[in-house]
């Protein structure tokens, strides 16, 4: 039932965006808490996170998400990745299954990261920024006016920054 509702809403939103573009020649970005934006697969989140781990801590070369490790330097990356994936629309259960943990562990990870951001924990903030930069580099940022851009470098779009802030506040 919920999937049908999401599909119907997504279709209606896309129809509205197309009509609006035809009438006004302006692209709209719609942020909806009901329609999740899953731009990356969980496997890609994991891959990008492992890249970050290995850049900072090469000793974890033989580790992966099924490795049961309680070393703080390793666990913080998994917690941040879980929090980002959850804020981007993935369910607690799907994240937990992909990292071979329970949904309660993912809930704890999200709370830990939120608390770390609130208290401005330098390690968590650095890891969050590093993983988010990897994600942005992989996905790319949509330039404001793609018709007049000759270069292929990504530029920051304030809509996406505003969307991330909105998601983080929820």
User: 56 and 7 share a domain?
Assistant: no
User: 47 and 78 share a domain?
Assistant: yes
Whether 33 shows a pLDDT value over 60: the answer reads no
User: 3 and 68 share a domain?
Assistant: no
User: 16 and 74 share a domain?
Assistant: no
CB contact set of 130 (below 8 Å; sequence gap of 6+): 52, 55, 56
- Look at residue 120 and tell me if it is in a domain: yes
| Domain housing 45 | 39-141+156-164
User: 72 and 87 share a domain?
Assistant: yes
User: 69 and 122 share a domain?
Assistant: yes
Q: What is the pLDDT of residues 101-152, one digit of tens each?
A: 999 999 999 999 999 989 989 999 999 999 988 888 887 655 555 555 445 5
CA atoms in the 13 A half-sphere facing the CB of 66: 1
User: 93 and 121 share a domain?
Assistant: yes
- Look at residue 26 and tell me if it is in a domain: yes
Q: What is the pLDDT of residues 41-55, one digit of tens each?
A: 888 999 999 999 999
106 close to 98: Cβ distance less than 8 angstroms: no
């Amino acid at each position: 039932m919920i999937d049908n509702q999401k599909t119907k809403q997504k279709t209606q939103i896309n129809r509205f965006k197309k009509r609006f573009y035809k009438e006004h020649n302006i692209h709209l970005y719609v942020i909806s808490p009901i329609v999740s934006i899953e731009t990356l697969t969980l496997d890609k989140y994991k891959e990008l996170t492992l890249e970050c781990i290995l850049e900072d801590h090469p000793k974890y070369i033989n580790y992966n998400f099924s490795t049961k490790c309680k070393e703080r330097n390793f666990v913080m990356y998994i917690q941040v990745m879980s929090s980002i994936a959850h804020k981007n629309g993935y369910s607690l259960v799907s994240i937990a299954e992909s990292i071979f943990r329970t949904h309660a562990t993912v809930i704890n990870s999200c709370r830990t990261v939120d608390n770390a951001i609130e208290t401005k924990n330098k390690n968590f903030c650095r890891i969050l920024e590093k993983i988010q930069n990897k994600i942005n580099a992989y996905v790319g940022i949509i330039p404001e006016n793609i018709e007049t851009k000759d270069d292929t470098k990504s530029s920051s779009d304030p809509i996406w920054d505003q969307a991330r802030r909105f998601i983080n506040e929820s």
